[in-house]
């Protein structure tokens, strides 16, 4: 039986960061051929995956990390890439405030340098404190920042929203960060 959680993490690694791990390539929009993904995972050893298992992972992933194209021949991660792809994000005006959850150990550097994407293409922001808390807890004791996203947008900073509702921007300068 396939461990769906661990398989989902492995697929995330492949589709967001290291497609070469199983010998596949992503197109310029982050899409991978489903057949190549399944073959590559199965060839790589460890757990086996089928189309049914892959569909179950996509359907049940609580963060809705993945999308299929219409005929399910292609799959991609919705956001979080460290490889250069254009996932055709929708540019959108954000709500007045968004939130960023992180671990307490990062608070001082964020207050000095702002939020930077580091190895990813964008900074990830949440629409509510509950989601930000869930993100922050993955990094130790959680800390939530309130971001003045409406003001950022009015000042010309672009925001995008991913297919799974995560707000993205290239960076958040210190002056837009409120420490709760």
pTM for this one? 0.72
Contact (Cβ atoms closer than 8 angstroms) between residue 7 and residue 49 = yes
Model pLDDT, residue 82: 86
Contact (Cβ atoms closer than 8 angstroms) between residue 3 and residue 49 = no
pLDDT digits (tens, 9 = 90+) for 6-52: 899 999 999 999 999 999 999 999 999 999 999 999 998 677 899 99
Q: Which residues, at least 6 apart from 126, have a Cβ–Cβ distance to it below 8 Å?
A: 98, 99, 100, 101, 132, 135, 166, 167
> Residue range 87-101: average pLDDT?
93
Q: What are phi and psi of 65, to 5 degrees?
A: -70, -25
Q: What are phi and psi of 99, to 5 degrees?
A: -135, 150
């Amino acid at each position: 039986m396939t461990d769906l959680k661990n398989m989902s993490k492995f697929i995330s690694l492949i589709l967001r960061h290291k497609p070469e791990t199983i010998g596949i390539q992503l197109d310029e929009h982050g899409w991978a051929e489903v057949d190549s993904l399944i073959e590559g995972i199965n060839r790589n050893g460890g757990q086996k995956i089928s189309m049914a298992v892959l569909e179950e992972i996509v359907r049940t992933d609580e963060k809705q990390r993945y999308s299929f194209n219409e005929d399910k021949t292609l799959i991609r991660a919705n956001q979080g890439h460290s490889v250069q792809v254009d996932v055709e994000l929708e540019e959108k005006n954000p709500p007045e405030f968004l939130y960023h959850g992180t671990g307490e150990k990062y608070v001082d550097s964020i207050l000095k340098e702002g939020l930077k994407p580091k190895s990813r293409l964008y900074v990830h922001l949440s629409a509510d404190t509950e989601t930000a808390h869930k993100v922050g807890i993955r990094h130790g004791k959680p800390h939530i920042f309130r971001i003045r996203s409406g003001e950022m947008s009015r000042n010309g900073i672009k925001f995008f929203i991913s297919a799974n509702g995560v707000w993205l921007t290239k960076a958040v300068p210190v002056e837009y960060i409120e420490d709760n």
